[in-house]
Amino acid sequence: MRIQVVMMRNFMPLLQQGRIAKVNSEFGMHDLSGKTQAAQPFLQRYLSARVVLGILVGITGLRLYAIAASPLGPGVDEAQYWLWGQDLQLGYYSKPPLIAWLLGMVDMLFWQSAFTLRASGPILHFITSLILWQAGTHLTKDGSGDMCGRIAALLWLSLPAIGLGSFVMSTDSVMLPFWAGALYFVLAAHQTYGQSHSPYLFYMAAGGIAIGIASLAKYAGLYFIPCLLLFLLIFGDRSRPRLKGLGVFLAGVVLASSPTWVWNLSNEFVTLFHLSENANLEKQSYSFASLGAFLLSQFAVLGPVSFATLITLPIIRNMRIGLLGGLHFFIWPIIAAICLQAFLSEANANWAAASYPAAALLLAATATQPLSNWLARLMLPALVINLFITACLGVILAAGSFGVLTPKSDPLRRLRGWDAMAEKTSALAAQTGARTLIAYSRASAALLHWHLADKGYYIALPLPANARSQGNHYQRSYPLNLNSPRPWLAVNEGAMPPKYPAEWQGPLAKTSIKISPRRTRDNSYWLAR
């Protein structure tokens, strides 16, 4: 009997440790003590919270400086978003309204310039990095959670997609902080599930509101809903799929996203027709080349080492490691859906942007696990390579040129020459007394609106020749018709007279603006009184 008591005394601590280890494993909490703690790599030993915050602020400051220094004007989409901000509505033809609301507020508080137009981008990505930092703390409870968050925040700002997205104002930049916020709330809700006085439903409602707001920035924010369903049904409590949590989440989504649905109801859901035109599924190509091109583009936007590491992670084993495994459900369904779209027709590299926050968290969290020191050692070269790529992007965009490495087609050409074209157009309009300026592409309409915003011209675009086409924002909001104020000055993208019922005089002038080593922007100007 005495021997049994002594044995129990000796083995009870071990049994308790085993029980704790089991509980920790279920909830994604891992012990990094002893030998494993001593093996922590450079990133975890020397990246204090103060150092990480300083790096994040420094990167953001450099990106703001690059925007201020750059001679490049806004792109077509940026100019269109700015114009929407001058006429605030609950929705717009091709996008939900949040980016317009943001740019309208910025324009009201400051002034119209390329800097104020783009400055929100790096600030929003900085905010996203801080949210991911906090989300990382909910993945583990052993002291490594904060380090996971720090690595995730650094990894986020180092991604080449975020480096480019910090220079170009886009709907992704506005959506991602709210998507990351929803991920934070879902992780927090999962950790508190089953506890007494659990704030589980509060966190789920907050996550739903965050996704509702994300969908006001970009409809891709709604990808979160099927991802969450998989998370709850497969990864969650299998005996009860937490219907209450799902219910309050969906209620939050509907409430927060209601403005855009009200607008769509009032406009015959025209946005759905636009999205179907963008998807271009009527012309299915079943192209493995398109699929391969999309997958290769992910090495560019996430960084070569980052994406290579992500696709080689042991998914099945990771899914058993608490919340760390649950992150897979917020990555691969999105990438798989866009891969299918790429195979059927086409897909842009940024269409999988909603998967990036969970990807950054998964890489960072796996790197802090005791069995994944090989991955931890990869994080430093991944960060260095990503930061080098984004630094090169920053220098190129700040200078507005690739320098001696400029390719003949020059991908920056789309941002050049619009100010010169607008100046020539304004001078001719002043000479002829023109009151309506006619553009023949969405790009010309967008940039003429931007550069001639204070001139008072009516800038119109002819309605589409194809009766089945919904046209674009300018054709719907600024259509050309016989009642448009005369005289008309047409900015035609070619040497021939415009195809529109009018007696054209001209050409009054022709311009050829060099925008790349082998490309020019050519226009001819015609007058109708």
User: Residue 210: which pLDDT band, with cuts at 50, 70 and 90?
Assistant: very high
User: Is 30 a residue whose pLDDT tops 60?
Assistant: no
Q: Has residue 40 got a pLDDT over 60?
A: no
Domain boundaries, the chain: 52-399, 415-528
Distance CA 146, CA 131 (A): 12
pLDDT at 408: 83
Please report which confidence band the pLDDT of residue 8 belongs to, taking 50, 70 and 90 as the band edges: very low
The maximal CA–CA distance of the chain, rounded, in angstroms, is 113
Burial (0-12, 13-18, 19+ Cβ within 10 Å), 169: buried
**Could you write out the DSSP letters of every residue in 450-463?**
HHTTTS--EEEBPP
For residues 509 and 425, give the distance between their C-alpha atoms in angstroms, rounded to a whole number.
10
Q: What does the pLDDT read at residue 81? A: 95
Q: What per-residue confidence (pLDDT) applies to 271?
A: 75
Lowest mean per-residue pLDDT among 182-196, 289-303, 341-355 = 182-196
Least-confidence region, from 56-65, 236-245, 517-526: 236-245
CB atoms within 10 A of CB 230: 16
Rounded percentage of the chain residues whose pLDDT exceeds 70: 81
Q: Positive or negative CA dihedral for 16, 17, 22, 28?
A: positive
Pull the structure tokens for residue 386: 């990503």
pLDDT the model gives residue 283: 66
- Which pTM does this prediction carry? 0.87
* 377 CB-near residues (< 8 Å, 6+ apart): 41
Binned at pLDDT 50, 70 and 90, residue 2 comes out as very low
Band of the pLDDT at 378, cuts 50, 70, 90?
Answer: confident
User: According to the model, what pLDDT value does residue 371 have?
Assistant: 54
Tens digit of pLDDT for each residue in 390-400?
A: 999 999 999 99
pLDDT of the residue at 4: 41
Query: Coil, strand or helix: which one is 513?
Result: strand
Q: What digits encode the pLDDT tens for the residues 293-334?
A: 999 999 999 999 999 888 887 654 555 556 777 888 999 999
| 477 pLDDT more than 90 | no
Three-class secondary structure of residue 296 per DSSP: helix
What percentage of the chain's residues is helix, strand, coil (to nearest 5)? 65, 5, 30
| pLDDT single digits (tens) 479-499 | 888 888 999 999 998 778 887
Structure-model confidence comparison of residues 241 and 294, the more confident one: 294
In this predicted structure, the answer to whether residue 347 has a pLDDT above a threshold of 90 is no
Q: What pLDDT score was predicted for residue 372?
A: 55
Task: Of 208, 209, 214, give the one whose Cα is nearest residue 228.
Answer: 208
Q: What dihedral do alpha carbons 447, 173, 69, 73 form, nearest 10°?
A: -10
pLDDT category at 277 given cuts 50, 70, 90 is low
More confident residue, 284 or 91: 91
Higher pLDDT, 144 or 131: 131
Residue 241, pLDDT score: 58
Cα–Cα distance for residue pair 157/176, rounded to 1 Å = 12
146-179: pLDDT as tens digits: 888 999 999 999 999 999 999 999 999 999 999 9
Residue 278 above 70 pLDDT? no
Mean pLDDT confidence for 224-236: 86
Most confidently predicted of 210-214, 264-268, 381-385, 386-390: 210-214
Q: Confidence band (pLDDT; 50, 70, 90) for 15?
A: very low
Averaged pLDDT for residues 96-120:
94
Would you place residue 203 in the very low, low, confident or very high pLDDT band (cuts 50, 70, 90)?
Answer: very high
Query: How far apart are the C-alpha atoms of 246 and 527, rounded to whole Å?
Result: 60
